Amino acid sequence: MKQTLKLKWFGIIFLSFLIFLPLCSANPSLPDNIKWLTNDTDPVYASENAQKGGTLRLSLLSFPMTFRTVGPDSNSSFRGYILNNQLSLTDIHPNTLNVIPGLATHWAFGDDKKTMYFKLNKNAQWSDGKDITASDFAYTLEFMRSKHIIAPWYNDYYTKEIEKVIIYDEDTLAVVSTKAVPDLHLKLSIQPTPSHFYKNLGKGFVRKYNWKIVPNTGPYQIGKFKKGKKIEFKRKKEWWGKDLRYFKNRFNVDKVLFKVVKDFNIQWEHFKKAKIDTFAVNLPKFWHEKCKTPVVDKGYVEKIWFFNDKERSANGMWLNEDKKIFADKNLRYAFAHAMNIEKVINLVLRNDYYRLEQHYVGYGKYSNDSIKARRFDIEKVDKYMKASGWQRGSDGIWTKGDLRFSVNVNYSFQEHTQRLVVLKEEAKKAGIELNLLKLDPAASFKKVLEKKHDVAWSAWSTALRPQFWEHYHSANAHKVQTNNITNTDDPELDKMIDMYRNSLDEKERIDLALKIQEKIYEIGSFVPTFMVPYIRQACWRWMRLPEIPGTRRSDGLFDPFDSSYGGLFWFDKTIYDETKKAMKTGRTFTPVTIINETYKMKTIR
């Protein structure tokens, strides 16, 4: 009996030790050799002339299905507007690409190459007035890993990629990646999640938070909204960040109103009636033809053509090397020389588009600008075809044995038919027959991912750094559902890609990136086509922009929220009144077309 009692006591002491041990170590200390970094020296890009006030009216094609940013139906374009008002720990300067403060004022890199330390801005507050603390970042992990949010991708990412958040005190924390990666700040600069708002996540999360307005950290918050009709964002008058170096003179309009107009052409009509303030007129048809309209001619609406400089999506033709014809390198080269992209640009696209020279254009130092795409050249086609022992048949198409150089081109957008028929006619001159197969986007994508295509006419989106492994590594070749749609399988290239993936040294990575791109060019399974290195916008003249209307990385000039380049514009009340009066009396202004080439890519100057 006594013995058991003793054991019990021992057990209790042992258990309490177990419980208290982690509590004792709950306040870890920062490493001694930590070197805090900040950035208050990069140039500012907002305008001193900006004035606060007014409304920006924009349109949406459809009303979002939910205000949640995770879970079912949340992945709409509207989510971007909500997320842009939820700042991250750090940001990227849109012109210099250096790290700049976000919610954190200082940051530091750990020696293990997988930890980053952050000091939070002491003034940073949630929109409901509560302070943002380090535990809100720890909660992000708990939240994103929760099964209740029904977001498997996030569950997976925040488990496999982000190891933990360490809290040192209320304003100091570290975020740890599961593995060492280059450009750590891009990965570890996570957003906070308001734990005081969600409290306990439960089974009903998806339904309960469908239309809840979550406290945020950015300059605007959703105000009134009418389901299916409109949503209004209101500027926080006393926003904690409004006087910070990179936020000053930005986010100027008091309200941003999104109206639902379900058709693109009708949105244009709304714009012409001044019910919408700005309109993206990137398409040649809009810029050249639809803009020939009285409101533009009379100078009420201004046109802006702004060149930006960022990663270009890889538009082009992807040749499937697993097909008999494209297994031969000479034939891939011949195919590239038979595509008269320049003629399409000159005569169909009004010289508005530019030739994309290779897969990785616009990645700064990571782009190999010495590579030039193979140009239309019938003599070279002849040379390569004859080198492989092919001859022109009676219809002028190359043949060899029972093979005929006739390939299917998969594509999925009606607007692209125009470009392809011109290529088809030109390719015929070079002795190559293109059969155009227009499929529904989903069906086309499926066919390509199953590697059943000859030639895929499609584009890949971009990341801040070139991604080679998914597109060109043999680990992804000859398999369905991978992004190596050319089935490129080259041991030498594999070796370089592996080295690039494993390297943490920037210089070495840049070096390798350039070599890999050369090798990809030599393999020749991608025929690059077009890039659109600019944005074109029409706006009513009362919406004003800084002298340099955008930044190097701007995707739009009237993005109201983007933490890095958004909110540079402002509303000018005097010009508004003047214009409204002029429209009544019939007074006109000189039409304005601004072309700004500050950030035009060097390669196309």
Residue 323 to residues 234, 248, 454, 474, 488, Cα–Cα distance (Å):
56, 57, 7, 16, 12
At 278, the amino acid letter reads: T
Cβ at position 288, least distance to another protein in Å: 8
* CA distance linking residue 116 with residue 181, whole number of Å: 12
Cβ at position 154, least distance to another protein in Å: 32
Cβ at position 393, least distance to another protein in Å: 8
Cβ at position 548, least distance to another protein in Å: 31
Contact range with another protein by CB under 8 A, out of 103-111, 235-243, 271-279, 410-418: 410-418
Residue 459 to residues 37, 160, 285, 407, 527, Cα–Cα distance (Å):
38, 28, 21, 19, 11
Strands across the sheet containing 255-260: 55-60, 255-260, 230-235, 220-226
Residue 383 is a binding residue for another protein (CB under 8 A): no
* CA distance linking residue 165 with residue 135, whole number of Å: 9
Residue 579 to residues 175, 298, 300, 583, Cα–Cα distance (Å):
52, 11, 7, 6
Instruction: Give the footprint of another protein on residues 275-304 (CB under 8 A).
Output: 288-289
Residue 113 is a binding residue for another protein (CB under 8 A): no
Residue 343 is a binding residue for another protein (CB under 8 A): yes
Cβ at position 583, least distance to another protein in Å: 25
Cβ at position 424, least distance to another protein in Å: 7
At 588, the amino acid letter reads: T
Residue 346 is a binding residue for another protein (CB under 8 A): yes
* Of 430 and 557, CB closest to another protein: 430
* Of 440 and 547, CB closest to another protein: 440
Among 150, 274, 436, 475, contact with another protein (rule: CB under 8 A): 436
Residue 435 is a binding residue for another protein (CB under 8 A): yes
Among 431, 524, 566, 567, contact with another protein (rule: CB under 8 A): 431
- Helix, strand or coil, per DSSP, at residue 233: strand
Residue 380 is a binding residue for another protein (CB under 8 A): no
* Of 439 and 499, CB closest to another protein: 439
Instruction: Give the footprint of another protein on residues 443-502 (CB under 8 A).
Output: 443
Residue 3 is a binding residue for another protein (CB under 8 A): no
Contact range with another protein by CB under 8 A, out of 40-48, 123-131, 420-428, 533-541: 420-428
Contact range with another protein by CB under 8 A, out of 45-53, 126-134, 270-278, 345-353: 345-353
Give the side-chain half-sphere CA count within 13 A for 500. Answer: 24
Residue 382 is a binding residue for another protein (CB under 8 A): yes
Residue 566 is a binding residue for another protein (CB under 8 A): no
Secondary element (H or E) of residue 19:
helix 2-24
Contact range with another protein by CB under 8 A, out of 199-207, 306-314, 343-351, 552-560: 343-351
Q: How many residues bind another protein (CB under 8 A)?
A: 32
At 439, the amino acid letter reads: L
Cβ at position 422, least distance to another protein in Å: 5
* CA distance linking residue 318 with residue 487, whole number of Å: 10
Contact range with another protein by CB under 8 A, out of 18-26, 79-87, 199-207, 435-443: 435-443
Residue 139 to residues 197, 201, 202, 252, Cα–Cα distance (Å):
11, 11, 15, 31
Cβ at position 376, least distance to another protein in Å: 13
CB neighbour list of residue 48: distance below 8 Å, 6 or more residues apart? 249
* CA distance linking residue 170 with residue 257, whole number of Å: 36
* Of 252 and 320, CB closest to another protein: 320
Residue 350 is a binding residue for another protein (CB under 8 A): yes
Cβ at position 525, least distance to another protein in Å: 23
- Size of the chain in residues: 605
* Of 16 and 346, CB closest to another protein: 346
Residue 110 is a binding residue for another protein (CB under 8 A): no
Q: Is 360 exposed, middle or buried (0-12, 13-18, 19+ CB in 10 A)?
A: buried
* CA distance linking residue 359 with residue 342, whole number of Å: 17
Cβ at position 232, least distance to another protein in Å: 34
Long-range pairs of 380-383 with CB within 8 A, sequence gap ≥ 24: 380/333, 380/334, 380/337, 381/334, 381/337, 381/338, 381/430, 381/431, 381/432
Give contact residues for another protein (rule: CB under 8 A): 288-289, 343, 346-348, 350, 378, 382, 392, 394-396, 414, 417-418, 420-422, 424-425, 428-431, 435-440, 443
